[in-house]
Amino acid sequence: MSTEARAGVSPMLSRLADEQATGALIREHGTLYLEDGRVVHAESPATPGMDVLLMAGGAVRAEGWSEAVDRAGARQRVGRYLVEQGRLSDGALELCHLGALFDASYFTLAPSSGPSRFRYGVSHWFGTVRPVPVATVERETLRRRELLQRIWPEPDTDTAPLSRIIRRAEACVPPRRRRVLDLVDGARTASQIALTLGRPAFHTLVDLRRLAACGLVATAPAPAPPEWFGLAVVEDPDVALLRRLRAGLEAL
What total number of domains does the chain contain?
A: 2
Which of 130, 150, 170 represents a domain boundary (last residue)? 150
Which of 150, 174, 195 represents a domain boundary (last residue)? 150
Cα three-residue angle 116-121-124, rounded to 5 degrees: 80
Instruction: Give me the pLDDT at residue 3, please.
Output: 44
Instruction: Give me the pLDDT at residue 247, please.
Output: 62
Q: What is the pTM of this model?
A: 0.84
From residue 113, give the alpha-carbon distance in Å to each of 27, 128, 160, 227: 10, 30, 19, 36
**Residues 144, 218 within the same domain:** no
Q: Are residues 221 and 240 in contact, defined by beta-carbon separation less than 8 angstroms?
A: no
Q: Are residues 100 and 200 in contact, defined by beta-carbon separation less than 8 angstroms?
A: yes
Range of the domain at 19: 3-150
Per-run averaged pLDDT (10 residues), the chain, 252 residues: 52 95 97 98 96 91 95 95 94 95 97 90 96 97 97 94 85 90 96 96 97 93 60 51 60 54
- Euclidean distance between CA atoms 144 and 136, whole angstroms: 12
